[in-house]
Amino acid sequence: MTSAPIKLFDEPPTDERIGVYVCHCGSNIAGTVDVAEVRDWASQRLAARGVVVSRDYKFMCSSLGQELIERDIKEKGLTRVVVAACSPHLHEATFRGACKRAGLNPYLCELASIREHVSWVHTDKSAATDKAKAVVSGAVERVVKSTALEPLHVPIHPATLVVGGGIAGIQAALEIADAGFKVYLVEREPSIGGHMSQFDKTFPTLDCAACILTPRMVQAGADPDIELLTWSEVVDVKGYVGNFVVTIKKKARYVVTELCTGCGVCEQKCPKKLVDDVYEAGLGYRKAVYTPFPQAVPKYPVIDRPNCTYFQKGTCRVCEKFCPPNAIDFTQTDEYQTVEVGNIILATGYDLFDPRRVTQYGYGRLANVFTSLEFERLTNAAGPTNGSIVMRDGKTVPKTVGIIHCVGSRDRNYNNYCSAICCMQSLKFAHLVKERTGAQVYNFYIDMRTTAKAYDEFYQRVLEEGTLFVRGRVAEVTDAAREENEEGKLVIQVEDTLAGRQRRIPVDMVVLSAALEPRRDAKDVAKLFGISCSADGWYTEKHPKLDPVATMTEGIYVAGCVTGPKDIPNTVTQGAAAAARVLGKIQQREIEIEPVRATVDQTKCSGCRICNNMCPFNAIIFHEDRMVTEVIPALCQGCGTCVAACPAGAISGSGFSNEQIMSQIEGLLLLNLEKQPAREAVMA
Amino acid sequence: MNAANDPSRPRSFLEEVVAATLGKSRLEMCIQCGTCGGSCPSGMDMDHTPRGIFALIRADMREEVLASNTPWYCVSCYYCTVRCPQEVHITDVMYTLKNIAIQAGLYEDNTAADLATTFVGQVEQYGRSFEFGLATRHNLKHHPLNMPKMAAGLGLGMLSRGRMDLTPTRIQGVDQLKRILARARELEAA
Amino acid sequence: MMAKYLFYPGCSMERTARPYLDSVLAIREALGIELEDVHDWNCCGATEYPAISVMGAHALVGRNLALAAQQSNGSRTLVAGCSACYLNLAKTDHYMRQSPDLAAKVNNALGAGGLAYQAGSLTVRHFLDIFINEVGLEKIRSAVVKPLKGLRVACYYGCQVPRPDYDQRFKNHEYPTQLEAIMKACGATVIDFPMKSHCCGGHMTQISERTAYGMIRRLVAGAEQYEADIMVSLCPMCQLNLDAYQVEMNKFFKTHFHVPTVFFTQLMGIAFGKDPLALGFGREFVSAKDALGKIGLDVPESEGQVPAPKKAGRASKQEGLPMPIMPAPKTFEGEV
């Protein structure tokens, strides 16, 4: 290259003193990029652009590497730093910290990714080195335009909202309340308890679910710091971390809770019986006025208005007549309560896959095919059969039972994932059937997934008890008999893959271990809270491995099955973890928010409102009086959508201003532009 | 260049079958769950279930696969294909195995293969299938002892009900069809 | 206003399943359908041609698609009655659309015969699909003059119409309900029939009697289990197996099943008041005379077997725990 250096279009020379640090990252970068050449080029070519020192080092993120930067800031009076290394996701905080320690505003440090963007995606060394130079040059031009920023400090309201009163929500609420802080526990059913309250026994210990859950429920109900809002739903969420304003709709119970003693006479006397398809999973009945189960917390019943004879036809009112303390009040209306909280934990749980979709298993058409939740109700001592395992006629004890794993799971036709708990659940069912009926039990599985503590030992136990295992995914459950021994039975047709042949096994009863799915309204709820969920509806954690209880929205945490199927130990752990994160935030009193965010220049804003509905984080508000838009700094995540959308160019991002981006582009092109005449000369 | 891309490495039977099947068969996605083997209406009479065949294919046991009666007992009911949790296009793979098996000629029982060959011969000759000719020829060859009974019962029954012709129907464009099929054969061999 | 369709009869409808063709032609006016045969069509290859060569099979079918596409009769829909023909025509068109490579090869082969076919230029459909989605149940109901009241009908779909169903015309591969809807519209009582889309065995009768007759037996036994008077089919191969081979199956297993199986269009024809002879009654092996006589209809006798005595009635509805509501909302294909 012999021609004179090209002058960048409009860029004047700068007074800033820039230090460039090129990392080898062992051989991760140095194996493809000629680091020394990049260092030298920066030092020579970019000297005119303000670079006063250019170094390379094997591992910039190490203490020694950081010290290089700190020393140069102090000794050479650097005003800007460029670190050419890995992706900012990994070490931006590290190098910003180094700058801060040396007295330089951390937002005057720019990361240039020459690993993820260069050495990891190219094999041509010469081209990679040129690209690294270009990336560094771009970073240099950009950092010149950077301004010193200060993080925002936002106070944290000490109250917390926990949505979902299952075991995850209860655990989180108890832990936060134990630390002395207020919790609003919102639950849409009349009682807290969640799915765990439906079970009979829990694996692998065979603890009675109610016995271990109800003490927690009672504690949650009695704790002065926990405000239970059952038969309620969140309808509106405004605000940002530390300062959420949440509106909760408290549906009318038509019961005056101050007077109600929970005696249950209303439920006894109510003449309207209907199928309970929530708590009893469709296998039992309840009344129009009901508490879902005897140990309900709170103990107050609710009236199911669409099914109440009084509300639908104007007659009856029997409950009112018989209620000893006169606690029935048909005139109640839904109430709305607005609360202020600093953090939110979403623990709304799961819904069961509907096996009616798998027509070949006959659920719904064949009487003696049951879902896992239906079976739980059968085995539950407080269930519709008082714990007897009987067939659909309510009396016959089965002599053979088939339990099918993976119904609706691990299946691209329904749900592609494994539901984590079905193998253990199926083993538990096998054990219970054996114990209570002595029936012959078959389990049909693809793989046996018994991964956690004491799980495989439980499998051993069930094997010892004599349950027969067939490795094969059931093809059909049918009542069309072929042989005499199949008459009147349900025939499970399956390939016994280990024996290598198709088998038809007649059984009396079939239990389907159905998949766990996100709640039917999960996506709507996610939208309400402004968090993201995957295509199937599981909520997205901030990082699947390293941050499983946080979300990308500051101040909103998740716990339990809302992010994906998991067993009770993991659910409880997540509830506790979310509580710990919230407590940590509360203790800090205030938090720092990244200053990389958009701001509206209100002198340029014409009030067109194009940006208003674009913000994925609900961070934009419109001032009707002044007809201008404002970005709420605490909510803004700096995604840049509004910046791009604004037709007047009135929105700019601190940390990603238009000037910075334009300069960066010109820096990136510098090397190419210089090389071009040489290439043209060759072609001529 | 890594081992997977090395052209001098011999091709596995799995790769051969996958390459010979139109589109993405997803055969490599099989988790051996056995849904296909469990669903197959003729599975009880196959020497290996469909799942078993896929295990053999992956184990590179080419001869055993091609000697098996499995593809010939496939009735193209597509239960396996719609139920497979990994969306493997099983029936298409079965047709591929039939094609390869015909060329290899390793099967022990050639009844089904022969039926197909006779049928195809007639279609290429007349442009239409010829049930009477097919049944007669096929049964003479493969179920000769059954012939008199079948002829008297079913055969006569079909004729008397006007549901079978004694002579074949020919389309007008037989030559055109022959040219098309000949070209198709060339393209396949290429 | 008659709707026009290109029609591919297929080898079976011409002869072995002549009653199917006759009954379709008999009811088409009442349904407002005009059918134009594809000129000089050839065999679709059934399941035999692809066994020898998949590529050849596509070329074979390609000729039919090319010829059909050439005939402009104001319709781009190609209708077939036989399940295998329908599947083969739909399959070739589908794969040609999916794979430009295949389309090029097929057109290369067709070129040797001076033909060409642009994938996707025709829509391939089955009569069942047309009757439900184009003609509509209202029209069918309005054409009924002799409701089949009291006739218990088992609706048999076979495999290749509900599966693999490349164009997703049937929401449920396992338990479709369209045929039931048509039969109900004709006034019949449809029975629950768990074997309704289980395989009839196709050509297995020529390969292994044991396997083939076993498969046929399951279907007939299934229809009998739910006390069907008569079974209807929409595929010539299925009907042949269930009808002609029911006799052979009985001989093989020494059983006495008597479930007459006719084409669904034949029953529609009866309901529309057409002459049973013209609809092809009398040409089945297992006579439908008694079944239809039960509801006061006189159809010709065929030299079939003696009907077996009826099985005892099924147990009455049980008390006990509640059953889930069927069909489930939204995700399940229920009543049409």
- Residue C217: closest CA among chain A residues belongs to which residue? A482
What lies within 8 Å, CB to CB, of B52 at 6+ separation is A500, B37, B70
Does C324 fall in a domain? no
Helical H segments across A145-258, by residue range: 167-178, 209-222
Residues A328 and A379 in one domain: no
Structure confidence by residue, pLDDT tens digits, B22-73? 888 999 999 999 999 999 999 999 999 999 999 999 999 999 999 999 999 9
Distance between CA atoms of residues A381 and B115, nearest Å: 62
- CATH code of the domain containing A34: 3.40.50
Q: Give B4's pLDDT tier (boundaries 50, 70, 90).
A: confident
Which residues of chain C are within 8 Å of residue A368 when distances are taken between CB atoms?
A: none
In the predicted structure, residue C229 carries a pLDDT above the cut 50: yes
Residues B31 and B78 in one domain: yes
In the predicted structure, residue A98 carries a pLDDT above the cut 70: yes
Residue bearing the bigger pLDDT, A48 or B95? B95
Residues A98 and A202 in one domain: no
Q: Give C317's pLDDT tier (boundaries 50, 70, 90).
A: low
Does C183 fall in a domain? yes
Residues C87 and C173 in one domain: no
Would you say A495 and B51 are in contact if contact means Cβ atoms under 8 Å apart? yes
Residues C150 and C94 in one domain: no
What count of residues does chain A have?
684
In the predicted structure, residue A473 carries a pLDDT above the cut 60: yes
Mean pLDDT computed over A382-407: 96
In the predicted structure, residue A4 carries a pLDDT above the cut 60: no
Q: What is the ipTM for the molecules in this complex?
A: 0.93
Note the pLDDT of residue A448: 97
Does C311 fall in a domain? no
Would you say C84 and C46 are in contact if contact means Cβ atoms under 8 Å apart? yes
What lies within 8 Å, CB to CB, of A258 at 6+ separation is none
Residues B175 and B133 in one domain: yes
Distance between CA atoms of residues A459 and A448, nearest Å: 9
Does B13 fall in a domain? yes
Residue bearing the bigger pLDDT, A571 or A646? A571
Residues B21 and B97 in one domain: yes
Residues C94 and C172 in one domain: no
Residues B19 and B78 in one domain: yes
Indicate the average pLDDT of chain A: 93
Does A458 fall in a domain? yes
In the predicted structure, residue C334 carries a pLDDT above the cut 50: no
Chain-chain contact of A497 with B33 (C-beta, under 8 angstroms): yes
DSSP-derived letter for residue A363 is: B
Residues C159 and C284 in one domain: yes
Q: Which of C78, C94, C127 is the last residue of a domain?
A: C127
Residues A403 and A328 in one domain: no
Residues A59 and A188 in one domain: no
Mean pLDDT computed over A257-280: 95
In the predicted structure, residue A220 carries a pLDDT above the cut 90: yes
- CATH code of the domain containing C116: 1.20.1050.140
pLDDT more than 70, % of chain A: 97
Residues A457 and A394 in one domain: yes
Does B3 fall in a domain? no
- CATH code of the domain containing C277: 3.40.50.11810
Amino acid at B150: M
Mean pLDDT computed over A573-582: 98
Distance of CA A68 to CAs A18, A40, A94, Å?
A: 14, 17, 13
Does A557 fall in a domain? yes
Q: How many distinct structural domains can be found in chain B?
A: 2
Lookup: tokens for A512? 């389907």
Structure confidence by residue, pLDDT tens digits, C66-108? 999 999 777 899 999 999 999 999 999 999 999 999 999 999 9
Distance of CA A229 to CAs A252, A386, C135, Å?
A: 12, 30, 55
CA distance C143 to chain B (A): 29
Residues B43 and B124 in one domain: no
Residues C108 and C173 in one domain: no
Does A674 fall in a domain? no
Mean pLDDT computed over A391-403: 97
Q: Which of A459, A487, A517 is the last residue of a domain?
A: A517
Residues A22 and A71 in one domain: yes
Which residues in A11-96 belong to E strands, given as ranges? 18-23, 51-57, 80-85
Q: Which of B104, B132, B152 is the last residue of a domain?
A: B104
Note the pLDDT of residue A678: 47
Q: Give A5's pLDDT tier (boundaries 50, 70, 90).
A: low
Chain-chain contact of B185 with C113 (C-beta, under 8 angstroms): no
Smallest Cβ distance to C59: which of B115, B117, B181? B181
Residues B98 and B150 in one domain: no
Smallest Cβ distance to C207: which of B112, B127, B161? B112
**Which residue of A353, A359, A368, A397 to mutate against C (max C Cβ within 10 Å)?**
A359
Smallest Cβ distance to A394: which of C172, C174, C319? C319
Residues B15 and B78 in one domain: yes
Q: How many distinct structural domains can be found in chain A?
A: 4
What lies within 8 Å, CB to CB, of A555 at 6+ separation is A240, A241, A242, A244, A342, A343, A344, A585
C189 touches chain A (CB under 8 A): no
Does A621 fall in a domain? no
Residues B12 and B100 in one domain: yes
Domain span holding position A570: 154-239+339-349+519-589
Residues A374 and A478 in one domain: yes
C309 touches chain A (CB under 8 A): no
Q: What is the DSSP string of C83-94?
A: HHHHHHHHHHHH
Mean pLDDT computed over B151-158: 86
Note the pLDDT of residue C336: 33
Note the pLDDT of residue A657: 84
Which residues of chain C are within 8 Å of residue B185 when distances are taken between CB atoms?
A: 53, 56
Amino acid at C129: D
Does B90 fall in a domain? yes
Residues A509 and A406 in one domain: yes
Residues A362 and A444 in one domain: yes
Does C298 fall in a domain? no
Would you say A668 and A135 are in contact if contact means Cβ atoms under 8 Å apart? yes
Which residues of chain A are within 8 Å of residue C319 when distances are taken between CB atoms?
A: 393-394
Q: Which of B64, B84, B104 is the last residue of a domain?
A: B104
Mean pLDDT computed over A291-318: 95
Would you say A163 and A186 are in contact if contact means Cβ atoms under 8 Å apart? yes
3-state class (DSSP) for residue A653: strand
Note the pLDDT of residue C310: 43
Q: Give C227's pLDDT tier (boundaries 50, 70, 90).
A: very high
| b/e per residue C258-283 (b: at least 16 CB within 10 A) | bbbbbbbbbbbbbbbebebeebbbbb
Residues B118 and B161 in one domain: yes
Domain span holding position B54: 8-104
Residues A195 and A205 in one domain: yes
Residues B145 and B178 in one domain: yes
Residues B96 and B52 in one domain: yes
- CATH code of the domain containing A228: 3.50.50.60
CA distance B29 to chain A (A): 11
Residues C174 and C235 in one domain: yes
Distance of CA A120 to CAs A21, A24, A28, A59, B126, Å?
A: 19, 13, 7, 16, 62
Q: How many distinct structural domains can be found in chain C?
A: 2
Structure confidence by residue, pLDDT tens digits, C187-217? 999 999 999 999 999 999 999 999 999 999 9
Residues A174 and A192 in one domain: yes
- Residue B120: closest CA among chain C residues belongs to which residue? C49
Does C262 fall in a domain? yes
Note the pLDDT of residue C314: 45
Distance of CA C120 to CAs C37, C87, C91, C100, C117, Å?
A: 20, 15, 11, 12, 9
- CB contacts < 8 A (A, C): 67
Distance between CA atoms of residues C147 and C14, nearest Å: 29
Domain span holding position C59: 3-127
Does C272 fall in a domain? yes
Note the pLDDT of residue A514: 98
Chain-chain contact of C159 with B79 (C-beta, under 8 angstroms): yes
Q: Give A7's pLDDT tier (boundaries 50, 70, 90).
A: low
Q: Which of B89, B104, B119 is the last residue of a domain?
A: B104
Which residues of chain B are within 8 Å of residue A412 when distances are taken between CB atoms?
A: 85-87
Q: Give A403's pLDDT tier (boundaries 50, 70, 90).
A: very high
Q: Give A14's pLDDT tier (boundaries 50, 70, 90).
A: confident
Does A626 fall in a domain? no
Structure confidence by residue, pLDDT tens digits, A140-159? 999 999 999 988 888 999 99
Distance between CA atoms of residues C237 and B81, nearest Å: 21
Which residues of chain C are within 8 Å of residue A521 when distances are taken between CB atoms?
A: none
Does B66 fall in a domain? yes
Q: Which of A491, A517, A543 is the last residue of a domain?
A: A517
Does C330 fall in a domain? no
In the predicted structure, residue B92 carries a pLDDT above the cut 80: yes
CA distance A471 to chain B (A): 8
Residue bearing the bigger pLDDT, C157 or C171? C157
Note the pLDDT of residue A530: 87
Lookup: tokens for A674? 């210089």
What lies within 8 Å, CB to CB, of C85 at 6+ separation is C8, C10, C12, C44
Does C238 fall in a domain? yes
Smallest Cβ distance to C16: which of B119, B163, B181? B163
In the predicted structure, residue C309 carries a pLDDT above the cut 50: no
Residues B120 and B181 in one domain: yes
C319 touches chain A (CB under 8 A): yes
Mean pLDDT computed over A246-253: 98
Does A655 fall in a domain? no
Residues A101 and A62 in one domain: yes
